[in-house]
């Protein structure tokens, strides 16, 4: 089955700085890579996703990159704001199911 | 649409009791997923359905867990008998089309088994 590793487990950044979270996956058949944000006590919500035929995708302050050869993908958040503080999960999907990373707790310091 | 609706939001039960968690997916969605979230193990997929049919239940921890989807608008996850190690947040999620599309999560049910 798919194994997704996510690093770091915690990340503290100064407001306005960038945050980068990295994930690797094991199954070369995986073809869809979503990122979810989960605020304390709330549900995970999709913030951005990328498919295997795309190398990079941006949405305002958020970007995701994918390297299929190396089997890793990353989330980049620029100009971080206090509301970016949350747990972020990467995931990888093959034709059968979605496997999540362990999560990264991001804290944005004012 | 109100999104994926789960009930109850919180459940406290005694060890050995039966627990039933409920989920109403988004109307029109044909995939339904049950996840369990704990600090130790993160988000784990327990089972998923396509068009009400269970497709993969390999994540169900043991025979004490069972899930059903009698129709397109309702699913249950049952634990019988419950144990303290079942304490977790259980999420239901649904999606439309092929499974590699956005999954919309419910608010979750926080289960505590004492």
Closest CA in chain B for residue A34: B102
Instruction: Report how far apart, in Å, the C-alpha atoms of A58 and of each of A47, B5, B57, B60 are.
Output: 11, 30, 35, 36
CB contact under 8 A, B103 and A42: no
Distance, CA of A94 to CA of B18 (rounded, Å):
34
Looking at residue A12, its pLDDT comes to: 98
Backbone angles phi, psi at B51, to 5 degrees: 50, 45
* Mean pLDDT computed over A61-67: 97
What is the reported pLDDT for A76?
98
Residues paired with residue B32 on neighbouring β-strands, in sequence order: B49, B94
The pLDDT tens digits for B6-36 are 999 999 999 999 999 999 999 999 999 999 9
> Which residue among A89, A93, A100 places its CB closest to the CB of B99?
A93
Q: Which residues of B3-15 are buried (b: 16+ CB within 10 A; e: fewer)?
A: ebebeeeebebee
pLDDT of residue B1: 63
Worst-scoring range by mean pLDDT, A88-97, B4-13, B71-80? A88-97
- Span B75-105, pLDDT tens digits: 999 999 999 999 999 999 999 976 678 899 9
pLDDT of residue B98: 66
Bridge partners (DSSP) listed for residue B8: none
User: In the structure, what pLDDT confidence band is assigned to residue A52 with cuts at 50, 70 and 90?
Assistant: confident
Test A98 with B33 for CB contact under 8 angstroms. yes
When pLDDT is cut at 50, 70 and 90, the band that residue B2 belongs to is confident
> What is the pLDDT at residue A54?
83
For residue A1, the model assigns a pLDDT of 72
d(CA B14, CA A103): 30
Mutation to test the A interface, candidates B2, B26, B43, most A Cβ within 10 Å: B43
Average pLDDT over residues B32-50: 93
Instruction: Say how far apart CA B47 and CA A75 lie, in whole Å.
Output: 28
Give A97→chain B minimum CA distance, Å: 7
The size of the A-B interface in CB pairs under 8 A is 47
Are A43 and B102 an interchain contact pair (Cβ–Cβ within 8 Å)?
A: no
> How big, in percent rounded to 5, are the helix, strand and coil portions of chain A?
5, 55, 40
Give the span between the Cα atoms of B73 and A103, in whole angstroms. 30
**Strand locations in chain B (E):** 5-7, 10-13, 19-24, 31-38, 42-50, 53-56, 65-71, 74-79, 88-95, 104-105, 109-113
- Average confidence (pLDDT) over A43-67: 94
């Amino acid at each position: 089955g798919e194994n997704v590793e996510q690093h770091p487990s915690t990340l503290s950044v100064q407001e306005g700085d960038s945050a980068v979270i990295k994930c690797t996956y094991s199954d070369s058949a995986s073809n869809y890579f979503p990122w979810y944000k989960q605020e304390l006590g709330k549900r995970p919500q999709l913030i951005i996703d990328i498919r295997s035929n795309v190398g990079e995708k941006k949405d305002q302050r958020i970007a995701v990159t994918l390297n299929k050869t190396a089997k890793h993908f990353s989330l980049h958040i620029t100009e971080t704001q206090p509301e970016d503080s949350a747990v972020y999960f990467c995931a990888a999907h093959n034709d059968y199911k979605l496997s999540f990373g362990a999560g990264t707790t991001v804290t944005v310091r004012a | 649409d109100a999104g994926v609706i789960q009930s109850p939001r919180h459940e406290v039960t005694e060890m050995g009791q039966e627990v039933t968690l409920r989920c109403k997916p988004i109307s029109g969605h044909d995939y339904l997923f049950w996840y369990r979230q704990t600090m130790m193990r993160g988000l784990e997929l327990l089972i998923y359905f396509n068009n009400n049919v269970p497709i993969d239940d390999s994540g169900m921890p043991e025979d004490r867990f069972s899930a059903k989807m009698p129709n397109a608008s309702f699913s249950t996850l049952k634990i019988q008998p419950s144990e303290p190690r079942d304490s977790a947040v259980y999420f239901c999620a649904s999606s439309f089309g092929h499974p590699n599309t956005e999954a919309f999560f419910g608010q979750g049910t926080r289960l505590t088994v004492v």
